[in-house]
Amino acid sequence: MNMPERRWDVVGVGCNSVDLVCVLPALPQTSGPLAKMQVRERHVFCGGQTATALATCASLGLRSKYIGVCGDDENGRLIREALSRSRVDIADLIVRDAPNQSAVILVDAATGERIVLWDRSDRLLLHTRELPIDALESARLVHLDDVDEEAAIRAARVARAAGALVTTDIDRVTARTSELVGLATHALFAEHVPAELTGISDLEPALRQLRRGSGALLCATLGDRGAVALDGDTIVREPAFHVRPVDTTGAGDVFRGAFIDALLGDAPIDRALRTANAAAAVSCTRMGALNGVPSREEIEAMMRQD
């Protein structure tokens, strides 16, 4: 069997977003003095799970292609322009008669932590019949979020059949999450997901339970505590880099993009986690998701600090 030509280092299938970022003196509460406050700053930034991960990959020199759906409104135009400026190929980005996915992100000025309030029209659903099979088959790696789950699962099957690596960005649990995890070569989760999938509250035993049904390397991102991976039977932990966060929006997506770059460079897992943690730390020092994507030089400088 002849292997397809690898025209792309990474093809990403998933969501994009245009975010209204509001910087507040603290995160709001439903009563008391924090129930009403003045907005300190307002910004409009582009982001979204897969879009930000792909922009990170492109910043690090990978041939990167984005597959997804955007709206035909002003926000859709903004996301197309932002991805193009980031040198991400958008030839297969579908433009639909709908408002683009958007979010209002409330950022605590003191900590950089945020609350995300998002909205996405059902008309932005990516259908399996719309997947460009030739692009998926010509990728070294296919990266998937879990927003359009049916399309993600189909894309994972195509990629695995073509011999590509498959990475994931999973931050919710549905009836089909285990199916998507089982198709990944490297399954990356938000911290809460392994517990929800297994019913085991302790992370390491939860990852080991998941490993019984999957041959994938399993990784969970832990925010300011770094990341942990189960590589075969070996647990690998890497601490976060300490920075003063300005905005943590998109840090997990940047982590995934830098992890993909390290993975395609054949880095050992501890090095891949450390590199991804450094990239996420740099992103936290700037406002916005795509706006926070670091360069390779910035990541290397962060790694030299420890």
Q: Are strands 94-96 and 41-47 parallel, antiparallel or unpaired?
A: unpaired
pLDDT at 213: 76
pLDDT band at 3 (very low <50, low <70, confident <90, very high): low
Q: Residue 2: pLDDT band by 50, 70, 90 thresholds?
A: low
CA distance 115 to 120: 17
Task: Inform me whether the pLDDT recorded for 254 exceeds 60.
Answer: yes
Q: Which CATH superfamily is domain 8-16+49-101+121-304 in?
A: Ribokinase (3.40.1190.20)
Q: pLDDT tens digit string along 280-300?
A: 999 999 999 999 999 999 999
pTM for the model stands at: 0.94
Residues above pLDDT 90, as percent of the chain = 94
pLDDT at 272 over 80: yes
Rounded-to-5 percentages of helix, strand, coil across the chain: 40, 25, 35
Average pLDDT over residues 51-58: 98
DSSP bridge partners of 70: 95
- The pLDDT of residue 5 is above 80: no
- Residue range 161-172: mean pLDDT, rounded: 96
Query: What's the whole-number average pLDDT of the chain?
Result: 95
Q: Give the per-residue SS3 of 60-94.
A: CCCCEEEECEEECCHHHHHHHHHHHHCCCECCCCE
Region 175-188: what's the mean pLDDT? 96
**Residue 230: pLDDT band by 50, 70, 90 thresholds?**
very high
pLDDT band at residue 106 under the 50/70/90 scheme: very high
pLDDT at 50 over 80: yes
Q: Which backbone phi and psi does 2 adopt, to 5 degrees?
A: -80, 130
273's enclosing H/E stretch is helix 269-284
Average pLDDT rounded to a whole number, residues 178-202 = 96
Q: Which residues pair with 43 in a beta bridge?
A: 21
Pairing of strands 94-96, 102-108: unpaired
pLDDT at 305: 83
